[in-house]
A and B are shown apart, each in its own frame.
Chain A
Amino acid sequence: MNCEKYQDLLSDFIDGSLASQDHHSIEAHLSACGVCAEVRGDLDAIVTYCHEHRGEYDAVPNERALWLRISNLIEAGDLELATDLRTEIPQNAGWWFRLMNRSWQMSLPQLAASMIAVAIIVSVATMIGLRRFGSGGESAGLRSSGVTTVAANGLPLAERYRQQQQTIDYWNQRVELNKARWNPQMRETFERNLNVIDAAVNDSLSHLNQNPHDEVSEEVLNAALNDKVELLREFAEL
């Protein structure tokens, strides 16, 4: 092994995570090589400094002002919730009455966004309808699973996961069809990204198995599944 290889192992050496054979080999090299011993000394100094100062925290520039900002935002959120709850509707009112008596308050950007969303939903629905009408094949049905995912907000986690999985299966099939045309570099990039995302999905699922109420893991799982759909879609279209 040359110095470069030894230096590559220095962090593991310092952290004590090397196999004993490698550990002894580096120790022997360090006692003979001044250059590597110097690098080890420098890295040691950095790591030791960090360890010794662990638990020291920086003060927020203006702790009180930050609290007031947070407190105001929370109160504003509470107020929105309270306004929503204030609309009184008789208990025996029908759904039409409830719909018509609900107060809709939207800002201009919200209104614009809603209109765009409606336009997109209508176009997608038309497209799906046309494709189903044109080919009637199963691929049209699979394509629609993407829409299901978009509309799936508010569903229980298991159902949402199942639907996202359908979308993933669809794009996966498309990717498999195109894979033969990819060069090795592209294949390697795809596999690497997919492995990273799968690891995040598995980790979130195992956290959720331990604690089904863990909203952080739920959020991470959603983000990872969305990333997976995005990745598959990007590569399916290449």
Chain B
Amino acid sequence: MAESETETPRTSDYELAQRAAEGDRTAFEELYQRHNRRVYSLCLRMTQNVTEAEDLAQEVFIQLFRKIGSFRGESAFTTWLHRLTVNQVLMHFRKRGVRLEQTTEEGEVPVQIVKGTENPNAMPVVDRIALDKAIGQLPPGYRSVFTLHDIEGHEHEEIARMLGVSVGTSKSQLHKARMKLRGLLRQQNKPK
């Protein structure tokens, strides 16, 4: 009785990956169940488009199936999968002709110093819907850096490597993204 109450330890991602690499489809499905939300969310945050995000998530799992044999467990599975996903989204941007490097110029809406307003509480309480809407209006390069740094928690050095830009560019794009978001959130709060 006591035995049946003890929980069976959860199989690790690494074990599942090994089994999947040997052709165990159930193990691969288990990996999908565990990580599909993480993959989809990252795609959605970077593209801000539900259909594109779903297609990209699909492509990520197809790639994962093809490459799972090359996962040796040196890093966490989630880190490896995360890199695969970011790479897939960036390739998608490249195919679409989005030049991440150029987005520095794309944020041509100058980031202006906002003069003190009459109402010091003009910045709305940040909420998910408002923030998602504002992130959707960022140029792709800013959006990628903001997503990877502030939402996913990567360091600038990692982001620079992933996007193929300098650390300085990553920092500058993050700051511009935050300032632009601030402006957009304030705009959303303006009485119509």
Contact, CB under 8 Å: A73 / B101: no
Query: Assuming the A-B contacts A12-B171, A215-B67, are A66 and B54 also in contact, with contact meaning beta carbons closer than 8 angstroms in the complex?
Result: yes
Which residue of B has the minimal Cβ distance to A200?
A: B164
* A196, B100: Cα distance in complex, Å: 11
Chain B residue total in the interface (Cβ 8 A)? 58
Chain A residue total in the interface (Cβ 8 A)? 54
Task: Flag whether B2 is at the interface (Cβ < 8 A).
Answer: no
Contact, CB under 8 Å: A50 / B113: no
| Chain A residues numbered 188-212 whose CB sits less than 8 Å from any CB in chain B | 192-193, 195-197, 199-200, 203, 210-211
Q: Which of B40, B126, B152, B164 has the most CB of A within 10 A?
A: B164
Contact, CB under 8 Å: B67 / A216: yes
* A74, B62: Cα distance in complex, Å: 7
Task: Flag whether A34 is at the interface (Cβ < 8 A).
Answer: yes
Contact, CB under 8 Å: B175 / A11: yes
> Residues of A with Cβ closer than 8 Å to B?
3-4, 7-8, 10-12, 34-35, 38-39, 41-43, 45-47, 49-51, 53-54, 57-61, 63, 66-67, 69-71, 73-74, 77, 192-193, 195-197, 199-200, 203, 210-211, 213-216, 219-220, 223-224
List, sorted by A's number, 9 A–B pairs whose CB atoms are closer than 8 Å. A46-B178, A47-B178, A49-B126, A58-B40, A60-B37, A67-B32, A69-B58, A213-B72, A215-B70
> Residues of B with Cβ closer than 8 Å to A?
25, 28-29, 32, 36-38, 40-41, 44, 50, 54, 57-58, 61-62, 65, 67, 70, 72, 74, 80, 83-84, 87, 91, 94, 101, 113-117, 120, 123, 125-128, 131, 150-153, 160-161, 164-166, 171, 174-175, 178-179, 181-182, 185-186
